Amino acid sequence: MKRFMAAAFSLILGIGAWTACAGHPESHMTIGVIKEIQHGGDTLVIDHKSFPGFMEGMTMPFGLADPKLSQGLKVGDRVRFTITRQGDAWPITAIEKIGKRPAP
């Protein structure tokens, strides 16, 4: 019985690790205001609200998974965006303008 429990437990751990790695890429979404566009659009400095359970609100630079994501965006734009883990980096994988009024 003990051996069965140990086998069942390691199976559950294995499934958990597999789900985290392969099943669902780790992503977080929040809103913010673009403060600066750097490196010809490869990097956006965003004053962002918190990513719940992941990061407090702050102003920081974000790389882009695809440089085209910053096309049409400008300093002062209010945006909703998603970052997704790619190895040790957390580039923006989706971003959309949500209006001109300042973030609440």
Nearer to Cu ion, 6 or 60 (CB): 60
Nearer to Cu ion, 10 or 50 (CB): 50
Kindly list the distances between the CA atom of residue 20 and the CA atoms of 14, 16, 25, in Å, as whole numbers in the listed order: 10, 6, 7
Among 60, 67, 96, 99, binds Cu ion (CB under 5 A): 60
Among 8, 11, 15, 58, binds Cu ion (CB under 5 A): 58
Find where tokens 């949500």 sit.
98
Residues near Cu ion (CB under 5 A): 55, 58, 60
